[in-house]
Amino acid sequence: MDLTKLYYMEIDKLHINEGDFDLFVELEPRQKLEFLWDAQYVGLEASILKQLEKLDEKKLSFESIPKTVVTDFEVGHTRLCVTVYNDIMYLNSNSLKAIRQFISKLWLDGHVLWQVKNTKKTIYDIYKYLKVYKVIGKGSPFSEN
């Protein structure tokens, strides 16, 4: 008995429809080999279900989802909306003075910020002024003395 024929995968006989091929394209190279092996020896449907389960486990990792924090402050008589997403801080207010006061407070608290220029307002930025800063790091607080 020839063992090479026993392990020979007959790819020519395997039919993968368009929807299943979309799944196949999303797989890593190693997973593609596993998919083809399982499709040949376990069955196409079982192979698809196995890979879908692995993709679901991979996509449900909440550690990879960036955290968004939205907070509204009242600075004097003005509202200030602060949105932090992926270390980018969006400050939206009707008062530039309120934004400057908030940035000054963050700076004195030890936050190192870099202003992102030429950013466009979105439909969520309801106030007149928008300033965007990248949070580079946090150090020790500064003293005004």
Query: Could you read off the pLDDT of 73-97 as tens digits, one per residue?
Result: 887 788 999 988 888 999 999 999 9
pLDDT digits (tens, 9 = 90+) for 31-47: 888 888 888 788 878 88
How many CB atoms lie under 10 A from the CB of residue 79?
Answer: 16
Please give the model's pTM, rounded to 2 decimal places: 0.53
The torsion angle over the Cα atoms of residues 84, 90, 95 and 97, rounded to 10 degrees, is 80
* Cα distance between residue 54 and residue 66, in whole Å: 21
DSSP SS3 for 29: helix
Whether residue 84 contacts residue 133, with contact meaning beta carbons closer than 8 Å, is answered with no
CA distances from residue 67 to 73, 78, 85, 132 in whole angstroms, order as listed:
19, 26, 6, 17
